[in-house]
Amino acid sequence: MTKAPSVRKMAKSYLILKKRLLKNSKFINMVKMSLAAGFFLFSLVAYWYFVNVSSTKGYFIRTEREKFSEIKFQNEIVKIDVRKLESKIFDSINLESNSSITWKVLTISSITSVALR
């Protein structure tokens, strides 16, 4: 013969089970909130770090490009001056006297090497 469970025992065990589940769900919700907050803080720090690094790199790249364009401009000015000097020297060369040609060619090469430094 089997005994039927009493209503009081069933109610008591149901309330205990409900209390355990409620306690566990609060703990699980706290863990979820902690993980979400941790992930948010990690994302915030990672964003701050990478934005800071990229903006710093961008600043230095911009300044180096400005320096490079300045140097390039100076180089173009020197090239123009060298071309003017070369044209002056070539115009002043007298092809009839052979002795002066060698001296003027040496002068051209020395002026060009000094100007390019």
Q: What is the pLDDT of residues 69-102, one digit of tens each?
A: 999 999 999 999 999 988 887 777 655 555 555 5
Extract the runs of DSSP E, i.e. beta strands, from the chain.
none
The half-sphere exposure of 36 on its side-chain side, counting CA atoms within 13 A, is 6
Q: Where are the domains of the chain?
A: 10-116
Whether the full predicted model's pTM is greater than 0.85, yes or no, is no
pLDDT in tens, 4-34: 667 777 788 888 888 887 777 878 888 899 9
Length reported for the chain: 117
- List the end-to-end C-alpha distance of the chain, in Å, as a whole number: 114
* Cβ contact 78:116 at 8 Å: yes
